[in-house]
Structure 1
Amino acid sequence: MKPATYWIEKYQMQAHPEGGYFAETYRSTETIAQSALPGRFTGDRHLSTAIYFLLESHHFSALHRIQSDEVWHFYAGDPLEVFVFDTDGHLEIIRLGSDPDKGEVFQAVVPAGYWFASRPAAGTTYALVGCTVAPGFDFADFELSTHQTVISTNPAYQTLIQELTHS
């Protein structure tokens, strides 16, 4: 297995505000007018965007939510756990990876508006994944959580939520 630094250098990845590293690989040239989008969007959006995203064992992608569906794709390294809290307070843990016998999948979807976070599975070194967002990602649609925000609707998962937030 190639080291994480190999991917970071080859794809010219930079630090991501949530944790880890990323490189945007696609941003459609066409846009959707705000008037054609659901009311939760504050402006025009690109049709779709895509990134490479790498988390090492000491990283996690902090709990956040966006206004679009996000499709996650596994590429290399070790399994990544994606923690998804639906609007009713249920937790789903998705394991992105290459071994379906261990419950791992190559792709998974996080629906718009759901709180989610991710980190490499315990005892692993890194995970290289991709994220495709439609309508395209815009930081205006990004909301980073404090642990209190998500604990209020998911108190049974207080310890996990505290591990997956920065404040």
Structure 2
Amino acid sequence: MDQLKDNSILTLIDQFQLSPHPEGGWYREVIRSGLTVKRSDGHQRNAITGIIFLLGKDDKSCWHRVDGADEIWIHLQGSPLSLWRLDPNSNEIVRLKLDTAQPMQMIPAGFWQAACSQGSYTLVSCCVSPGFDFDDFKMLRDIPKECWPEEALSELI
């Protein structure tokens, strides 16, 4: 991992005690509400969860989705972030940008999403409500290729 030679990346990983995330990049959960809610599908989840998430210049947040929960991305520091949102019903893909001028974006429940930094690194916070659970997390690369949305950018798989 060449980016680990970059002191700013090493410093942030150390400062926030980040670990590798299955979708790519580095993360640590920092918030998990004690309040629980019952989703419409009957599953109980914490009301909200939040992570700190770091993408270096060579990292990518590969196509994934969170079923049953919306995700809000919040730009904290570093370069702008490219965030793609792919509607699973219409196959419409939208490229969103997070930076100091537009620091927040939301990905609706069940939408495919992927991201990458537009520079040396991007530090964001991601908040999920109802709270994140890996049981609701799906990676595009883990489902049969014939089920992949046609519009999913292959470099982000």
Partner SS, residue 132 of structure 1? strand
Closer, same or farther: CA 126–150 of 1 in aligned 2, 3 Å? farther
- In the TM superposition, what is the alpha-carbon distance from 1:3 to its structure 2 partner? 1.2
Match for 1:9 among 10, 14, 27? 14
1:99-125 deviation line (CA, Å, top 9, x unaligned): x3xxxx10000000001111112xx11
> In 1, Cα distance between the equivalents of 2:71 and 2:117?
18
1:25-66 deviation line (CA, Å, top 9, x unaligned): 10011212xxx3122x6x320000000000001110110111
> In 2, Cα distance between the equivalents of 1:97 and 1:73?
9
> In 2, Cα distance between the equivalents of 1:149 and 1:28?
38
Specify the code of the residue in structure 2 equivalent to 1:25. V
Q: Percent same amino acid among aligned pairs?
A: 33
Specify the code of the residue in structure 2 equivalent to 1:71. I
Residue matched to 1:140: 135
Unaligned runs of 5+ in 1: none
Residue matched to 2:96: 94
Residue matched to 1:131: 126
> In 2, Cα distance between the equivalents of 1:91 and 1:77?
25
Does 2-11 or 74-83 show the bigger shift? 2-11
User: Where do 1:46-125 residues align within 5 Å?
Assistant: 46-67=46-67, 68-86=69-87, 87-98=89-100, 100=101, 105-121=102-118, 124-125=119-120
- In the TM superposition, what is the alpha-carbon distance from 1:69 to its structure 2 partner? 0.3
Alignment RMSD: 1.7
> In 2, Cα distance between the equivalents of 1:127 and 1:38?
34
Q: Please report the TM-score for the alignment, with normalisation by the length of structure 2.
A: 0.87
Q: Please report the TM-score for the alignment, with normalisation by the length of structure 1.
A: 0.82
- In the TM superposition, what is the alpha-carbon distance from 1:163 to its structure 2 partner? 0.6
4+ long deviations beyond 4 Å? none
> In 2, Cα distance between the equivalents of 1:38 and 1:143?
19
